[in-house]
Amino acid sequence: MNILQTKRGFTLIELLVVVAIVGVLTSITLGYLGDARKKGDDTSVKSNLHTLRAVGEIFYLDNGTSYLPSGVGISFGIAACPTYDANGTNMFSRNKNIADAVAAAVSKGIGSACYNGVDVWSVAVGLKLVPNSSWCVDSMGSAKLSLSDPISAINTGTFLCN
């Protein structure tokens, strides 16, 4: 028999084995990509809240050593973070840079909580990689992980991160 005359090809079993291997590799890869996306979102939350700390101090100095806007400042209790409003009564809504940093963090996280008073502010945004966890920053320089939802990450007595 001539080698050129034999039929070449794959058997059905060989093809099924290859498809099964590709399927397993795909499912493993997609699992890692999901975690990588969550990790990227959590990093974005932390980065934006880090920016907020620096801009908050500039706001404090520009407003006569107060974290509230001059003349119209009203304390903002622990609640979901507000959006930008040029006539806002707290630093989170009044200052565009602060509002943008908070909005970017909130868009990548799960829920938010903000507090704004004359002498103190704090922000917590829920993280995706670790369920029921939040990243909290405040005017005292804290930036830390809290194993709770955003509202519970802010201490109701001191209004700083727990």
Domain ranges of the chain: 13-153
The confidence score (pLDDT) of residue 49 equals 95
pLDDT band at 28 (very low <50, low <70, confident <90, very high): confident
Which residues pair with residue 136 across a beta bridge? 124, 144
Whose structure tokens read 């520009």? 62
The confidence score (pLDDT) of residue 47 equals 95
CA separation for the pair 45, 146 (Å, rounded): 14
- Is the pLDDT reported for residue 142 higher than 90? yes
Residue (of 121, 161, 116, 114) closest to 139 by Cα position: 121
**pLDDT tens profile 102-124:** 999 999 999 999 999 999 999 99
Average pLDDT over residues 29-44: 85
The confidence score (pLDDT) of residue 3 equals 57
Percent of the chain with pLDDT strictly greater than 70: 96
CA separation for the pair 99, 107 (Å, rounded): 12
**Other CB atoms within 10 Å distance of the CB of residue 114:** 25
The confidence score (pLDDT) of residue 7 equals 66
pLDDT band at 1 (very low <50, low <70, confident <90, very high): low
Whose structure tokens read 């700390």? 53
Collapsing DSSP states into helix, strand and coil, what is residue 10? coil
| 27 vs 119, more confident | 119
pLDDT band at 2 (very low <50, low <70, confident <90, very high): low
